[in-house]
Structure formats: structure tokens, C-alpha cells
Structure 1
Amino acid sequence: MAALGAWLVFEDEAGFSMTPPTTRTWSRRGHTPAVRVRGRSRRRLSVAALACYKPGERSRLIYRSCPDARPDGRKSFSWKDYRDLIQTAHQQLGGPIVLVWDNLNTHLTAGMRRYIAERDWLTVYRLPPYTPDLNPVEGIWSVLRRTTTANRAFADPQDLITAVRRGLRQLQYRHDVLDGCLTGTGLSLASP
């Protein structure tokens, strides 16, 4: 990777629902706090994120969201959505990319394989099955669920989208948190 001058980029996707994740909180003794939700909603928001690392550079977070109410009826990312995300990352990072991601069926489609083969600036490695502990983006999802979306009742799907985007935007400027997510995997970058 260092010989290529490439960015090491990890990808993962996650879903966020209208039902808030609960975390611990404080309250007066005998007064258990309650988060009231006005009804169940099956609306979800899918997010794909890239955690980007390069020795001598600040870490970066690039993401795209995909609400489940899309005009084409699709509820998740297509291979073209991933292609566009990778292309955006290449433009923003300005250099070759070594992409590490899981074995999601969308990552393995013929269109995606063709796209990867046609790009000399893109090298792809797949994580072994059931190894989320090797992907720093999993740490980003954990931080987001423990902070931005925890103990919060969303008024509507747009409120959920706004909250998740705001949390991710804040994390983009927290290079220490992004670096900590990489460190949490046991991986590190050696400076040249």
C-alpha cells in the first residue's frame, strides 16, 4: 500500500430504524426515564461508509445514505450505488485506493467485478466471513448508535435521516475517533 501511495479504505453498510437504540442514562432514584415512541414504523435508512487512511494524511470518512422509500422500489444499495461511492472517494482522495470490504452479494455482482477490473487505481480485498472486528467502519456505527441516535424517538423518517447525517458529519471532523476505530481493530498505519 505504501509503495503504491494508496489510501487504505474500509467499507461497510448499516441500517438505522425509527425505533431508537437504548443506552444507559442517569435519573433520580425511583424515576426510571422513558423514551416514548408514537407508534411503530418499519421505515429504515441504509448507510454505506468508507473509512479512509493513509500514512501522513488525516483520516477521512465518506458516506452515502439510502432511504428505503426510493423511486425504483429498491430498499438497499445497488452495485451502481457502491460504484458511485467508490468513484467519489477516488475523486476526493486524489490517489489510488486499496479497498477492503465484506462479501455482501452486491459487492460480488458481475457489474461490480467489471468496474473493479477496469480501474487500475483500485485494488480490492475481501474480509473473511464473520469478521466485523477487522473493519473500523463497525466502530463508527457503534459510536453513532451510542451517541447520535441513542435514546431518541424520531418524529418521522426525515428526522431519522437528519440525525444520522448530522452524526456522520460530526464524525468526519473527529480524526481522533476515526483513528481510534482503526486502532480498535488491532491494525495500524506505519508512517513512511
Structure 2
Amino acid sequence: MIGPESLRAKKARGSDRKLSEAQLRELYALLVGADPRQLSFGFALWTRAMVGELIFRRFKIRVSVATVGRTLRMLGMSPQKPLYRAYQQNPEKVEKWKAETYPEIRRRAAQEGAEIFFADEAAIRTDFHSGTTWAPAGQTPVVEMTGARTSVMMISAVSPKGKLRFMVHDEGLKSEEFITFCRRLLDDTDGKVFLIVDGGRIHTSKMTRRFVQRTERLELFFLPPYSPELNPDEWVWKNVKRDRVGRQAVQSKITKSGQLRGAA
């Protein structure tokens, strides 16, 4: 039947809903407002089986895994990859950074003609890989790549306007390399640079502090501890490591020209 009559809601086949409206509201509040470990589960991520067990514990009602899935979708939920956050993070410091500290940095930058950059470091291994590929079911695909386990260290800075500066290094990054990067950043920037970093050792070392004190055009600002989500430069490394390099079959960290791949 075609026409307006066909659009009318029809009662779905199958058994009636087993949870009342009040029980559904309570279930939603438990799932959204609590970590599974707070409810005596052994894992930090909800599964349909765990939600089914929670329903039985709370309401003494047994439901199938399929019913749990339909119930969760009805509650407006979907399976998602969570963002992981360190439990040592201080929410009050994070909120103060958002509401007071960073707005003040922006105000000063505008007043003093400074450019803001967020900086971070990362390492990528030649044997790192990410992503998936299509293949016949039951036949695990094989991708040939180097078996050598070597690393390339990377440091970059990104501005709120999307300007990107980066440097790669063949060995571990120390204060000397961070200072070299800061010098290059200053050479490529007119006026002052307000550089926002985390409290890592190379950012707070005596050598780095002495360099900053002698450099009138550079000022460092520090993010709250354990708060990488406040640093947009984290997305640079996510793109490089997981979206780019991790999906390639790396043969060597050296190009045919003898240069590090991606070297500036």
C-alpha cells in the first residue's frame, strides 16, 4: 500500500518491552553517570552483556543481548570509541585554564603582537601500523614492511589559525633539540612567540629556562598536568602516526636521497 496510510506507525513484532519508563530512566542515568567499575564490574567499558547483567542486578529482569542492544539504541546510545583521560587530571585547573588562563594569553598576544603556538613531541617507529584492509573472510592479509625497529623523533607547533612548523630528529629529543626548534620557530615568526607546552622535562629544564630568560621574543606557557586534550598539536601526531605513517608499509626511515622522511 502506497500513500499516507503506509507512513503510519505500526506496532513492531516481538515481545513487549520488559522495562518500564521509570526503569529505563534509571538505567540511562546509571550508564551515563557511572563508570562500570563503580558498579562492581571488572571492566571500564560497557558491553551489552554487562548492561544485561546490570539490568538483572537492578531490576531482577533477564533480557537477551539482542534485547539489550535494541534498548540501548532506543535510549539514544551507540557504540563509540572513548576518549581516555588520566585520573590524575585536576578538573578545577582545566576549567581555570579554559575560562581564565588561555583567554588572558590571547588578550596579551593581541595586545603585544605575539603569535600563539601549541607545541608537542612524539616518536614514530618503523614497525608501527594502524588501520584495517578488506580481504576474504578467514584469510588474514599480509603486508610486507621492514622488520627493523627504529624510531624517528618529531616536534611540531601549530597555531590557532592552523600554521604548522615541525622538525624531525634521528635520536631522542633533549633540551638542546627543543631549544633548536624554538630558535627556528622564532626565525620563521615576526614579533613575539607565545609557546604553549606541557610540563615535560625538556620544557622545564634549567637549560630551557635560561634560554627563555635570555630570549625576549619567546615566552613559555604551561598546560595543566595530564591534559593532552587541551593541546591541538596532539591532532597533528594523530594524523601523522595513525592516519598516515601507520597505514603505509614503511620500508626504511631514510629516503633514496639519504634524508629523513618528512625532514624540514
User: Separation in 1 of the partners of 2:174 and 2:146?
Assistant: 32
Which of 115, 126, 134 is equivalent to 2:222? 126
- In the alignment, the residues of structure 1 paired with residue 247 and residue 145 of structure 2 have an alpha-carbon distance, to the nearest angstrom, of 10
1:110 equivalent among 200, 206, 226: 206
**Residues 1:42 and 2:149 are matched in the alignment:** yes
Aligned residues of 1:35 and 1:152 also touching (Cα < 8 A): no
Partner of 2:94: none
Higher percent of residues as strand: 1
Offset of 1:17 from its aligned partner?
Answer: 0.3
Distance 1:122 1:34 in 2: 49
TM-score, normalising length: structure 2: 0.53
CA RMSD of aligned residues (A): 2.2
Q: Provide the residue aligned with 2:170 in structure 1.
A: 67
Q: Which has the higher helix share?
A: 2
Q: Is this contact kept in 1: 2:121–2:155, CA < 8 A? A: yes
Q: Percent same amino acid at aligned positions?
A: 23
Structure 2 gap ranges (5+): 1-108
The residue type equivalent to 2:127 in the other structure is T
Structure 1 stretches of 5 or more lacking a match?
Answer: 69-75, 170-192
In the TM superposition, 1:178-189 aligns within 5 A as none
Matches within 5 A, 1:23-102: 23-39=131-147, 41-53=148-160, 59-68=162-171, 76-102=172-198
Distance 2:242 2:130 in 1: 8
SS in 1 for 2:183: helix
Say yes or no: does 1:5 pair with 2:113: yes
Corresponding residue of 2:35: none
Q: After TM superposition, give the deviation of residue 43 of structure 1 in Å.
A: 1.0
Q: What is the letter of the counterpart of residue 144 of structure 2?
A: R
Contact 1:35 1:151 in 2 (8 A): no
Deviation for aligned residue 1:78: 2.1
Structure 2 distance, partners of 1:86, 1:36, is: 38
The one-letter code sitting in structure 2 at the alignment partner of 1:80 is: E
Equivalent pairs, count: 153
* Partner Cα distance (1:122, 1:149) in 2: 32
How far off is 1:38 after superposition?
4.6
Counterpart CA distance in 2 for 1:63 and 1:151 is 21
Instruction: Report the TM-score when normalising by structure 1.
Output: 0.71
Cα 1:120–1:130 shift into 2, 3 Å: same
